Amino acid sequence: MAPPVKRLHHLDAARALLLLLGLPFHVATKAIFESAPSAIAFQTSPVIGAYTSVTHVFRMFAFFMLAGYFAGMMRERKGGPEWIAERARRLGLPLIASLATLGLIQFRLQDMLLHKASPRFLGLPVALDHLWFLIVLMAFCMTYVAIPARALGPREGLNRAMTLSGPGSILLLLALAAWGLVRYAAEQVPPILNAPSETLLWQQYLFHAAGFALGVLAWHGRIGEQLFALSSRVVVPAILVLLALYIPLDPLIRPALGKEIYPDLAGTLTLRALELPLAYLMALALFRLLAALVRGPSRLITFFVDGALAIYLFHLVWAMIILPHTRALPLPPEAQWLAATLGVTLLAVASYLAVRSTNLTSVLFCGAPRKSAPVQAPQPITQTSG
């Protein structure tokens, strides 16, 4: 029998953090790309551009990598059929509930408050927006459960490559670069007619498959404890070199650098080739940092781990409501962005607290029943002098 796997508490923090990092990102991108008039001051701000560019590189890659690792763990513990049924409940119910409520609201608010129409999803007046990640994650789980576990057994060469030990690590980074070019090729395929949301889904599935697959392989290779706290002298220097090449090419920050939003063809190909190797290295650096900071369980981390999904699901509604007001404030764009992010975060947390108050809404938007307060053991009655 395999020894029990050590619980890595910093991965709980990472799961919550990676979703919460999306709140300021979406506040900025809603203002820049999905509002009329566009927030040009946001787009040309070096501070906002740096945040959106740097976090966009690694955030969803690291999220899907963790999802793949935990998928391997839970499939092994529960068995394929029980695990995939549990995934359908934990992911499918929040997806359906969100599309039926938040998706409808976001579709209307996009036009009413941001004055830029939202694409329909499945021909319905529903905004897909950030909800794509639940569909893609569920698709990854269904793909993974169809692969026999014995076909994914540990391979020493791959384990060494993933932990940046030996020449195989260069081949892994080159393979990730090649997958980025596959993404560029996929983007050249004509989109599904009158279905931009559906087109986005298959492209995101293709691109983020790399992160999910590496997480699955990390579990099957039994290298999670080493990989997610990897101490390697090459990670930070490699990140700095790749970032120096990546940043000038990223459309999210190019306007702040005084450049046209999109690079030329050579620049675009270079950008796509750099994305995944950089995302992998930055994800490893983040996991290492959290491993140093988070040594055990924490009530704050538990709160955000339990609430991250609901907070993330609700935040875009609040972003649409708040942005028109914060953009009208006589403040620098960075202050407007921070004020909107703070308001969105507080209201999204309040939404989480509201929906976790009943079992039904907790299941629908948190993916699990509400947690009951722990029952305290009765205290022994002692005689007191009076």
Q: For residue range 11-49, list pLDDT tens digits in order.
A: 989 989 999 999 999 999 999 999 999 999 999 999 999
Residue carrying structure tokens 């953090």: 17
Q: What is the pLDDT of residue 92?
A: 95
Q: How many CB atoms lie within 10 A of CB 303?
A: 14
Q: How many CB atoms lie within 10 A of CB 328?
A: 9
User: Tens place of pLDDT for every residue, the chain, 386 residues?
Assistant: 444 566 778 998 998 999 999 999 999 999 999 999 999 999 999 999 999 999 999 999 999 999 999 999 999 999 999 999 999 999 999 999 999 999 999 999 999 999 999 999 999 999 999 999 999 999 999 999 999 988 998 889 999 999 999 889 999 999 999 999 999 999 999 999 999 999 999 999 999 999 999 999 999 999 999 999 999 999 999 999 999 999 999 999 999 999 999 999 999 999 999 999 999 999 999 999 999 999 888 888 899 999 999 999 999 999 999 999 999 999 999 999 999 999 999 999 999 999 999 999 999 999 999 876 544 444 443 333 33
Q: DSSP secondary-structure letter at 34? A: S
Task: Tally the domains of the chain.
Answer: 1
Reported residue count of the chain is 386
Buried b / exposed e over 78-110, threshold 16 CB at 10 Å, is eeeeebbeebeebbebbbebbbebbbebbbebb
Q: What is the pLDDT of residue 253?
A: 98
Residue 373 domain flag = no
Selection from 298, 304, 348, 355 nearest residue 322 by Cα: 348
| Tokens linked to 204 | 């995101």
Residue 95 domain flag = yes
Residue 382 domain flag = no
Q: What is the pLDDT of residue 116?
A: 95
Residue 181 domain flag = yes
Q: What is the pLDDT of residue 375?
A: 41
Residue 318 domain flag = yes
Q: What is the pLDDT of residue 149?
A: 87
Q: What is the pLDDT of residue 1?
A: 41
Q: What is the pLDDT of residue 216?
A: 97
Contact 7, 302 (CB under 8 A): no
Residue 385 domain flag = no
Residue 22 domain flag = yes
Residue 134 domain flag = yes
Integer Cα distance of 215 and 217 in angstroms: 5
Where in the sequence is the domain holding 74, given as residue range(s)? 9-366
